[in-house]
Amino acid sequence: MIQVENLTKRYGQHVAVDNISFTVNPGEILGFLGPNGAGKTTTMNILTGYISATEGRALVNGVDILEEPEEVKKMIGYLPEFPPLYGEMTVMEYLDFVSDIKQVSGQEKKQSMEKIMDLVKIGDVRGRLIKNLSKGYKQRVGLAQAMIGNPKVLILDEPTVGLDPKQIIEIRNLISSLGKDHTIILSSHILPEVSAVCERVIIINKGRIVASDTPENLSKGLDDGTRLIVRVAGPEKQVVKVINEIHGVKFAESQGSKEKDTVDVVVESDPDIDIRKPLFFALSRASYPILMMKSLGLTLEDIFLQVTTQEKEVR
The ranges assigned to domains in the chain are 2-220, 224-295
pLDDT higher than 90, residue 3: yes
* Helix 91-101 vs helix 106-120: crossing angle, to nearest 10: 130
Determine the average pLDDT of the residues in 235-246. 95
Question: What's phi and psi for 102, nearest 5 deg?
Answer: -85, 5
pLDDT band at 33 (very low <50, low <70, confident <90, very high): confident
Query: Residue 225's pLDDT is what?
Result: 56
Determine the average pLDDT of the residues in 259-273. 89
pLDDT higher than 60, residue 112: yes
Higher pLDDT pick, 174 / 114: 114
Distance of CA 287 to the CA centre of its chain: 44
Average pLDDT, the chain: 88
Q: Spell out the residues 6+ positions from residue 113 whose beta carbon is closer than 8 angstroms to its own.
A: 92, 95, 96, 99, 148
C-alpha span between 120 and 83 (Å, rounded): 15
- Percent of the chain clearing pLDDT 70 (strictly above): 94
**pLDDT tens digits, one per residue of 120-161:** 889 999 999 999 998 888 988 999 999 999 999 999 988 887
Distance of CA 153 to the CA centre of its chain: 16
How many residues does the structure list for the chain? 315
Higher pLDDT pick, 159 / 95: 95
Query: Residue 247's pLDDT is what?
Result: 92
**pLDDT tens digits, one per residue of 267-299:** 988 877 888 999 999 999 999 999 999 877 666
pLDDT higher than 70, residue 245: yes
Does pTM surpass 0.85? no
Residue 107 class from Cβ within 10 Å (0-12 exposed, 13-18 middle, 19+ buried)? exposed
pLDDT higher than 90, residue 35: no
301, β-bridge pairs: none
Residue 56 class from Cβ within 10 Å (0-12 exposed, 13-18 middle, 19+ buried)? middle
pLDDT higher than 90, residue 218: no
> Is-same-fold flag (2-220; 224-295)?
no
C-alpha span between 206 and 158 (Å, rounded): 19
Query: Residue 313's pLDDT is what?
Result: 47
pLDDT higher than 90, residue 227: no
Strands 14-24, 208-213: pairing kind? unpaired
Query: Residue 298's pLDDT is what?
Result: 64
Domain 2-220 CATH class label: alpha beta
C-alpha span between 59 and 50 (Å, rounded): 14
Among residues 301, 242, 300, which one has the least CA distance to residue 267?
242
Q: Spell out the residues 6+ positions from residue 119 whose beta carbon is closer than 8 angstroms to its own.
A: 144, 147, 174
Residue 118 class from Cβ within 10 Å (0-12 exposed, 13-18 middle, 19+ buried)? exposed
Cβ atoms within 10 Å, residue 313: 7
pLDDT band at 84 (very low <50, low <70, confident <90, very high): confident
Query: Residue 314's pLDDT is what?
Result: 45
pLDDT higher than 60, residue 315: no
Higher pLDDT pick, 310 / 98: 98
Higher pLDDT pick, 167 / 309: 167
Q: In the CATH scheme, what is the homologous superfamily, with its name and number, of domain 224-295?
A: MTH889-like domain (3.30.70.1340)
